[in-house]
Amino acid sequence: METIKVKASRPYSVTVGSEQLKTIGERARSLFPKAVRVMLVSDDTVFPLYGETVSRSLIAEGFETEPFVFPHGEKSKNSKTYLDLISAIARAGLSRSDFCVALGGGVVGDLTGFAAATYMRGIGFIQVPTTLLAMVDASVGGKTAVDLPEGKNLLGAFWQPSEVICDIDTLKTLPDPVYAAGCAEIVKYGCMMDKELFETLEQQDLKSVEEKVISRSVSDKRDIVEQDERETGSTRILLNFGHTVGHAVEKVSNYQISHGSAVSIGMCVMVRAQSECGMIDKRTVKRIESLLASFALPTETGFSARDLSDAILSDKKKTGKTVNFVALREIGEAYVMPIPIGEIESFIEKGLKTCKSN
């Protein structure tokens, strides 16, 4: 078991290890000694697997535990589900000393976190991520949000969790494509800030170093968050490597393409476009594509540059006459590259080309 300390506006710990679910009640009691009620939020895929275990742990510590279970998937991360959850919390009578538990993947965590941030101007919540992607990315850093028809994560708040508990035993029940989605975010850390992690993934089977790699990824994100918690500087935006195009892929696909697969495509489009512009060598592009492909992640898309460009321009990352993309100098070193709005489509067009070795 490993514990990573996050020194954010609300300091908290991230625990990574096996057999963690049974300890949630005890740990919640130490975090919320005056709490009476807890809203256990999950989706209809995760709750049947782990809801009873977590509920028993909470009830054993004297918490009145109320479940809120919603249909799984990105389409549920909307304003209606959010308001339904807020109403359920109010009906259950939670006070400011009470808290929520987010049991599930990134959608559950984002939704629960935003509800906790806004109910009674803010109550505590514990993240219990059950997917690889949520463990290494969504559960850490305090970004909470729901989607609007106009774009992804447009309605949200920064609200740090009270604790993050990653039980890696839950990864055993993940379908292969869902596990692979988390691998995309791990590769992202390697690409944009951690060359040693990238090389580890190239040389070793992830399952053999799973706990170590998850902890390393969490530590990488922790380091960025501590420098730029609210993304007011130029540091935290580096975590968006692959995400500007990736979010566009998600939106154009009507969220039929998963976040991890979309980010994988986004990273490849970005480095191929850079290669076409002479900013990065083709060998680096091939290494990134090969590593992503080794996790059965997509590296190309059939969507047009025009469709992706239009989706990007509706997203929140537009700043005046430019959009901030995150580019690579080399594996392990990223930087912010503003692109004028009028040049985005042609840049993406370059990234849609297959990178051929010289």
Catalytic residues: 121, 143, 185, 221, 231, 236, 240, 243, 247, 259
Residue type, 159: W
Taking residue 132's Cβ as centre, other Cβ atoms within 10 Å add up to 29
**Distance of alpha carbon 105 from alpha carbon 102, whole angstroms:** 8
What end-to-end distance do the CA atoms of the chain give, in Å?
46
Nearest 5°: the CA angle 10, 13, 17 is 160
* Nearest Cα residue to 5 out of 169, 236, 163, 199: 163
Residues 138 and 218 sit within 8 Å (Cβ to Cβ):
no
The residue written with tokens 């059950």 in the block is: 130
State how far the alpha carbon of 352 is from the alpha carbons of 3, 192, 243, 285, 349, in Å: 41, 21, 15, 13, 5
Number of H helices, E strands in the chain: 13, 12
DSSP characters for 290-316?
A: HHHHHTT------S-HHHHHHHHHTST
Residues 300 and 264 sit within 8 Å (Cβ to Cβ):
no
Residues 39 and 92 sit within 8 Å (Cβ to Cβ):
yes
* Nearest Cα residue to 164 out of 46, 36, 1, 6: 6
Coil, strand or helix at 318? strand
